[in-house]
A and B are shown apart, each in its own frame.
Chain A
């Protein structure tokens, strides 16, 4: 493709700086600047004595994850593999519960934050009440829901968890809410974007056949964007599993909790057992999601 702005002068230059190269260069410069701002001497990249011991002991167990506890445990404790399985199960449970609420939030807020449901009809007179509604309530709800979405998704799930811990104390419902709120906001944003970008032909046809705004939205627009919506929701489920695992670091009984506990007790073999459990869980879901995506989108 030829660049219409390329002058003969530019061609003579040995290294023409195209916009793309400029962007790439400024990215590198930004990286260098960031490094200078930070306390990150290169010497700190090499593990020192204590750290070196951890590195050696930790990686020594990489291929030999613990198949039994590395210290005596009470009689009643289940086998470590059962423990890993139970932690993985709870990780999945938190992710699924959080996602199910997030999905509802995402659909409702995603709907409210599109213009499709209140923007007026093109033809014909409408009652004064309806017009007033379209002029006041519609835009008000629309902007309120957009603001709510921004608020929900700009706070990280772990920070929501920290807030709920402070407000309620340790409670499993708090973990579910911590996942549901930011994920619900993100789903709502992406859903409304996908729906706004989807072809409107079928929706307009349904409106032309007398369907109301809600019907047009849910049977003309949403199904048109359906495969993309489903693929994206499943991808977020994958992310929710990772988030649920990390929530364990804050005391919730997921894989992160087991990893943190074992690491702090220097039981590196156990850490690997739990890490592998997490990897298996995440990779399984990623493969599943990939298979579904090929089915949906292709």
Chain B
């Protein structure tokens, strides 16, 4: 198990997709154990920023550091090790629907083992791994679904499976992309609260992208505002002026609003 929590740094990072800037000159420092929310309208570059932190996306300009190491200097093996330490819950969950919940959760640990060991683990998981998966599922509230097929679960339950998969990585940081977009408001609040609690228990870094400002203010001590691919504010939740928040969503000054989702 890797102790501690991850630190992230972006220095003037920009990402261009086929001629269109998804993120421009973004700088951000996340200290170990911090919890922060990325807020902003859809298409503001939140997903792209999270993908940079997860080393799933290379910046076209600027640099990304995880735990004080520049990602572009790392060998593929080191890069895999970095990704292994970072749990990512995707907006579309990215689960395998015809797997049982257990297999989806255990797939989170593949980065820690060689190919032969992973075949063994996926086909005949050890007792200890099954119990660890069960414990995590219990913690996120769907322990009894351990052996159910994933596509038999509700949307909210599936989201918890995706969270359990990320936690099964024993991550030192947890990244969540729009965890509230696919569930109703009450469940969204539960989910955000659960994630905040778990990361506090484990002392791990938490970065959540969220378009619901109220939820972000309620559960996160630090907010980073994104608009049209640029960081427009960054600071403790209490210090952000309501004017800044409302400006984030106004259409003024936005010549084009295009979704920045990556295929």
- Chain B residue nearest in CB terms to A221: B96
Q: Which residue of A lies closest to B106 (CB)?
A: A219
Q: How far is the CA of A103 from the CA of B162 in the complex (A)?
A: 32
Q: How far is the CA of A123 from the CA of B75 in the complex (A)?
A: 10
Q: Which listed residue, A125, A204, A207, A226, touches B73 by the CB 8 Å rule?
A: A125
9-residue interface stretch from A87-95, A141-149, A188-196, A210-218: A210-218
* Residue B11 is within 8 A (CB to CB) of chain A in the complex: no
Contact indicator B90/A210 (Cβ below 8 Å): no
A208 CA to B94 CA in the complex, in Å? Answer: 11
User: 0/1 per residue, A220-234, Cβ < 8 Å to B?
Assistant: 100110110000000
A126 CA / B87 CA spacing, docked (Å): 23
Alpha-carbon distance between A202 and B80 when the two chains are bound, in angstroms: 16
Q: Taking A130-B76, A209-B108 as contacts, is the C-beta distance between A123 and B169 under 8 angstroms?
A: no
A-side interface mostly:
helix
Is B110 in contact with A124, judged by CB distance below 8 angstroms? no
Those of B35-78 within 8 Å (CB) of chain A:
51, 54-58, 71-76, 78
Q: Is B118 an interface residue (CB 8 A)?
A: yes
| Contacting residues, chain B, for A219 (C-beta < 8 A) | 107, 110, 118, 122
Residue of A nearest to B82 (CB): A210
Name the interface residues of A93-131: CB closer than 8 Å to any CB of B: 121-127, 130
- A124 in contact with B58 given A204-B94, A226-B98 (CB within 8 Å): yes
B112 interface neighbour in A125, A204, A210, Cβ under 8 Å: A210
A210 near B83 with CB under 8 A, answer: yes
> Which of A130, A212, A220 is within 8 Å of B80, CB to CB?
A212
B84 interface hit (Cβ, 8 Å): yes
**Inter-subunit contact B115/A214 (CB<8 Å):** yes
Distance between Cα atoms of A271 and B99 in the complex (Å):
48
Q: Is the CB of B88 within 8 A of A209?
A: yes
User: Contact: A207 with B56, CB < 8 Å?
Assistant: yes
A205 interfacial contact with B, CB 8 Å? yes
Which of B54, B71, B84, B96 is within 8 Å of A202, CB to CB? B96
| Residue A201 CB within 8 A of the other chain | yes
CA distance A218 to B90 in the complex (A): 20
Residue B92, interface by CB 8 Å: yes
B207 within 8 A of A: no
Whether A208 pairs with B115 at a CB distance below 8 angstroms is no
Task: Write out the residue numbers on chain B whose beta carbons fall within 8 Å of the beta carbon of A123.
Answer: 55-58, 71-72, 79
Complex Cα gap A226–B151 (Å):
14
Residues of chain B contacted by A122 (CB below 8 angstroms): 56-58
Whether A227 contacts B98 by the Cβ 8 Å rule is: yes
Give Cα A211–Cα B82 distance, bound, in whole angstroms.
11
Hey, which chain A residues are within 8 Å of B85, CB to CB? 210
Residues of chain B within 8 A (CB-CB) of A121 are 76, 79
Interface residue? B81 (CB, 8 A) = yes
The minimal Cβ–Cβ distance linking B188 to chain A, given in whole angstroms, is: 21
Pair B110/A206 contact, Cβ less than 8 Å: yes
Task: List A contacts of B93 (CB < 8 A).
Answer: 201
B8 → chain A closest CB, angstroms: 14
Q: Is B210 part of the contact surface with A, judged by Cβ < 8 Å? A: no
- Is B216's beta carbon under 8 Å from chain A? no
Given contacts A124-B71, A127-B75, contact A208 B98 (CB under 8 A): no
CB distance from B206 to the nearest CB of A (A): 17
Chain B residues near A127 (CB, 8 Å)?
75-76
Q: Once the chains bind, are B75 and A212 in contact (CB under 8 Å)?
A: no
Contact of A126 among B75, B98, B99, B112 (CB under 8 A): B75
Q: Are B110 and A209 in contact (CB under 8 A)?
A: yes
B95 at the A interface (CB under 8 A): yes
- Expressed in whole angstroms, the Cα–Cα distance for A223 and B71 within the complex equals 30
B169-A209 in contact (CB<8A): yes
Residues of A within 8 A of B97 (CB): 224
| Interface bits B106-137 vs A (CB < 8 Å: 1, else 0) | 01101110010011001000000000000000
Given contacts A211-B110, A214-B115, contact A205 B84 (CB under 8 A): no
Residues of B within 8 A of A130 (CB): 76
Pick from A209, A214, A224: contact of B83, CB under 8 Å: A209
5 A-B residue pairs with CB within 8 Å: A123-B58, A123-B71, A125-B72, A126-B76, A208-B55
B-side residues, CB < 8 A to A, are 51, 54-58, 71-76, 78-88, 90, 92-99, 107-108, 110-112, 115, 118-119, 122, 165-166, 169
Starting from the known contacts A124-B79, A208-B83, A209-B111, 16 additional A-B residue pairs (CB-CB under 8 Å) come to: A124-B55, A124-B74, A124-B76, A125-B74, A201-B94, A202-B95, A204-B94, A210-B81, A210-B85, A211-B118, A212-B110, A212-B111, A219-B118, A219-B122, A220-B96, A223-B98
